[in-house]
Amino acid sequence: MKLKTKLLLALLASLTLGVAPFYPEPHIWGKLKWIAGGAHDMRLLDYWDTFLHGAPWLVLLYFTLQLIFKVIIDQKSST
C-alpha cells in the first residue's frame, strides 16, 4: 500500500474512531483533560480506553512523519 493511502486511512481512522463519541466533546479530549487534571479515580480500563482512542492519532503521526522524511530525503538526493 502506498504511503499516501496509509496516511489517508490513518486520517480517516483518527477523525472517526479517534474522536468518537463526538457529543458533548470528543472522547479522547475528555480523557486527556482527565489525565492532565491528575487522573483522580482513573482506573486501568480508562487508561486502556485512552490508548485505544489515541492509537489512530499515533499512527497518523507516524505516517505523517514518514512522509515528511521521505520528501526531505528525495529533495536532498535530487540535488
> Would you kindly state where each structural domain of the chain is located, as residue ranges?
3-78
Cell of 24: 458533548
In this prediction, residue 18 carries a pLDDT of: 84
Indicate the residue type of 76. K
CA dist., res. 29 & res. 78, Å (int): 42
Cell of 18: 479517534
In this prediction, residue 25 carries a pLDDT of: 86
SS3 assignment, position 1: coil
Give the CB-side neighbour count of residue 48, counting CA atoms within 13 A.
3
Mean pLDDT in consecutive groups of 10 residues from the start of the chain, 79 residues: 91 89 86 91 92 94 94 86
